[in-house]
Structure 1
């Protein structure tokens, strides 16, 4: 169907269809991960980010494309997960900037907005890498403005062609992609989104069919209902108003718990568990128009879930200290044992996440808002979470510092370098310096056949990673682990720490541990039951 101009409702249908398409194909995007490890989650992160963005605009009736895109961009910003999700959120933030104040746009005006999306994405990345989603959106923007047509549907068809052709060239720009015989996964995710937007226009704004598949968010929501429910109604809404000076937030604290209060430009996003949602909404209505209201009876959900679940999972909630502390740490990790280590080292709030399960910007903002301290320090412990952590820092009005820890060992090293008596500047320098004092290794398995750096890797092989790069690949778990440790130890090493995962067999592991102690009599060999999934071992050498 032909459209010479598109308005807010057209745009809503376009991105809604794109959301369905990406949700349906996220597993395929995940499979394009260059590394054959079982945590290739680009598709999952992009899908969850885009889903959060589209959920923000569902039900909007305005025809202003500027208004719809603005709300969507904020939803993407708060829901961004992983580097791919953060970059995607910045693309749509730039598009929204280009659409600001517009009721509708023609093909050329929309092309300019895509170019603005490209610029926004590049600004968000400190060291842009070509051959990635950045290249795809850049060429879409640069070549899109050269497309001469008055038909927006035809224009989007050309955009899809440009994106597809660029995606096919990503292996020529990034050697890792060529070696793995794949195209860039983030670029593929963007192509699916653009295709979904084009197909909506082509079909007369009809939406694609959803696959009957439970999302990760639904799983987490179901799991979380096992917690003890103090306040019965999960209440969420947005106030169309500029944030106040804290009066409404103070009121919320008297009405329930699990409070998230995020002010951004001219909206306030609120989440609270309360027994009186009507009173909360009435008070909120005094401050501006309300939208995206959602109230769920958690006690009813809890009763229903108990009927079908045999093994409830308890989710610990952080306790808000009554007195503001000088310092507080927020850390991200997976595995109950690793979580216990961080808590023992003084972390106030551990966000469950890491490989395969990157927390969103909003998850991190929520942790910041629940942390009562003068200085808040975030340890992402994963390279794919650092951008979301920095985005949360920028959103928060609190004094937040992000230490760019890429591994669990770096997170632990940072905590041991912290000095409660020192000032923040001194501590920041010490924590940053600590990242160079530890070597990080890990052992997992290959999910597919591939070749990386000349190494032939078969599905099911054990993989030894040194600082996130594949060092070893073979079928002998403990032989590989021993050689990986040998590559990490040098004459300056004083200790070896192994965090062993939930799939490690205890008896065999203990024999291996004894062998290590004999091999390295001058080093402290320490063992921690990390209980982490997917990774047999996470190794720290200091």
Structure 2
């Protein structure tokens, strides 16, 4: 566990962001096996913990030599690294969330209850929009509930450190409850008696933010009582038929129109389509760098659709059953 640098001191400044992602990387690494074990949605491929750890670790590593007062600029570096190295549905969504936080906090040098609320609201909009077919009972629901709670709480608070403490603590409490509710929101989770793996991963990320900003430790009892989360529970994703198909991920430079065309073709070819802009390359020409994710039965269909509109970079093709590169 990464110990906070200033125990008990509330700081919403940039150094807390570096500590947040470093702490989150450690936390996700510690919990990756159990996150993999309960990963059954959207496909039971048992890699959510691994993907989240890899993605957040890339974000944290990108900040090691960075020094910004602007929270948005600082987070933008982390978000770009996360997006370019995003793995799986969960990793890609976390990268989208980091990018949205960066956009909202541009020009902000200190986190407050109010700026946190605005950032979480933006993250919710961006994350839901990134998926072609967003589903409740997932990381999205946890993010949505969290943002709603913080928005409501922040409306009655001032911009003090104590108010930020209240908002962060309520944020984590809301996330815990939202994670518990995922079990009843998705039939696959209810049948397996587990909560959503991606939702738990987001909860760990949010608790790491709370700990880093408040100068506190991670909550050791955060996940107590979550369905399927005891270490003696089985690896749920190993029950049932093997997953067939491929996960295709890449980065690509496209205009907004070409990106819409690619999303349409990928929706036809497979499912679990996620597309989000990494950064703006040419605002006037509406040219952006995108991170693309899709599950397909035939990887050649996805590759053909990608090749039709541009050149794929950071291309990763994995067998959903074995996780080996295809």
Match of 2:190 among 175, 178, 181: 178
1:59 maps to 2:65 = yes
- The answer on whether the counterparts of 1:14 and 1:205 sit within 8 Å (CA) in structure 2 is no
TM-score, normalised via structure 2 length: 0.66
Q: Deviations over 1:464-514 (max 9, x none)?
A: xxxxxxxxxxxxxxxxxxxxxxxxxxxxxxxxxxxxxxxxxxxxxxxxxxx
Equivalent residue for 1:518?
Answer: none
- Given the superposition, is the C-alpha separation of residues 166 and 399 from structure 1 closer, same or farther in structure 2, using an over 3 Å criterion? closer
Identify the structure with the greater helix proportion: 2
Equivalent residue for 2:230?
Answer: none
Pairs within 5 Å for 1:368-447: 383=271, 386-387=273-274, 406-408=296-298, 411=300
Counterpart Cα distance in 2 of 1:115 and 1:89: 16
How far the C-alpha of 1:63 sits from its partner, in A, is 2.8
- Given the superposition, is the C-alpha separation of residues 37 and 173 from structure 1 closer, same or farther in structure 2, using an over 3 Å criterion? closer
**Coordinate RMSD, CA, aligned:** 4.0
Q: Which is bigger in relative contact order (C-alpha 8 A, separation at least 6)? A: 2
1:138 maps to 2:150 = no
- Given the superposition, is the C-alpha separation of residues 129 and 36 from structure 1 closer, same or farther in structure 2, using an over 3 Å criterion? closer
How far the C-alpha of 1:203 sits from its partner, in A, is 3.8
Counterpart Cα distance in 1 of 2:289 and 2:174: 43
Equivalent residue for 2:174?
Answer: 162
Q: How many residues are paired up? A: 259
How far the C-alpha of 1:155 sits from its partner, in A, is 2.3
* Other structure's SS at 1:6 match: coil
Counterpart Cα distance in 1 of 2:289 and 2:65: 36
Q: Deviations over 1:298-344 (max 9, x none)?
A: xxxxxxxxxxxxxxxxxxxxxxxxxxxxxxxxxxxxxxxxxxxxxxx
- Runs (5+) with no aligned partner, structure 2: 1-6, 221-244, 255-261, 310-318
- Given the superposition, is the C-alpha separation of residues 40 and 383 from structure 1 closer, same or farther in structure 2, using an over 3 Å criterion? farther
1:44 maps to 2:50 = yes
* Other structure's SS at 1:387 match: strand
How far the C-alpha of 1:92 sits from its partner, in A, is 1.2
Equivalent residue for 1:15?
Answer: 21
- The answer on whether the counterparts of 1:111 and 1:145 sit within 8 Å (CA) in structure 2 is yes
- Given the superposition, is the C-alpha separation of residues 413 and 25 from structure 1 closer, same or farther in structure 2, using an over 3 Å criterion? closer
How far the C-alpha of 1:193 sits from its partner, in A, is 0.7
Equivalent residue for 1:94?
Answer: 100
Counterpart Cα distance in 1 of 2:303 and 2:122: 38
Equivalent residue for 1:69?
Answer: 75
Counterpart Cα distance in 2 of 1:379 and 1:36: 16
Pairs within 5 Å for 1:156-305: 156-203=168-215
Equivalent residue for 1:28?
Answer: 34
- The answer on whether the counterparts of 2:70 and 2:109 sit within 8 Å (CA) in structure 1 is yes
Counterpart Cα distance in 2 of 1:140 and 1:58: 28
Counterpart Cα distance in 2 of 1:169 and 1:189: 15
Counterpart Cα distance in 1 of 2:288 and 2:168: 42
Counterpart Cα distance in 2 of 1:142 and 1:61: 31
Pairs within 5 Å for 1:445-464: none
Pairs within 5 Å for 1:515-530: none
- The answer on whether the counterparts of 1:46 and 1:189 sit within 8 Å (CA) in structure 2 is yes
How far the C-alpha of 1:122 sits from its partner, in A, is 1.1
- Given the superposition, is the C-alpha separation of residues 59 and 37 from structure 1 closer, same or farther in structure 2, using an over 3 Å criterion? same
Counterpart Cα distance in 2 of 1:141 and 1:34: 25
- Given the superposition, is the C-alpha separation of residues 165 and 119 from structure 1 closer, same or farther in structure 2, using an over 3 Å criterion? same
Counterpart Cα distance in 2 of 1:163 and 1:56: 27
- Runs (5+) with no aligned partner, structure 1: 209-353, 369-375, 416-423, 426-531, 536-542
- Given the superposition, is the C-alpha separation of residues 117 and 104 from structure 1 closer, same or farther in structure 2, using an over 3 Å criterion? same
How far the C-alpha of 1:42 sits from its partner, in A, is 1.5
* Other structure's SS at 2:152 match: coil
How far the C-alpha of 1:180 sits from its partner, in A, is 0.9
Counterpart Cα distance in 1 of 2:13 and 2:320: 46
The structure with more radius of gyration? 1
Counterpart Cα distance in 1 of 2:209 and 2:279: 32
* Other structure's SS at 1:92 match: helix
TM-score, normalised via structure 1 length: 0.42
- The answer on whether the counterparts of 1:32 and 1:182 sit within 8 Å (CA) in structure 2 is yes
Counterpart Cα distance in 2 of 1:22 and 1:109: 25
Counterpart Cα distance in 1 of 2:82 and 2:139: 16
- Given the superposition, is the C-alpha separation of residues 36 and 79 from structure 1 closer, same or farther in structure 2, using an over 3 Å criterion? closer
Counterpart Cα distance in 1 of 2:130 and 2:152: 25
Counterpart Cα distance in 2 of 1:127 and 1:382: 11
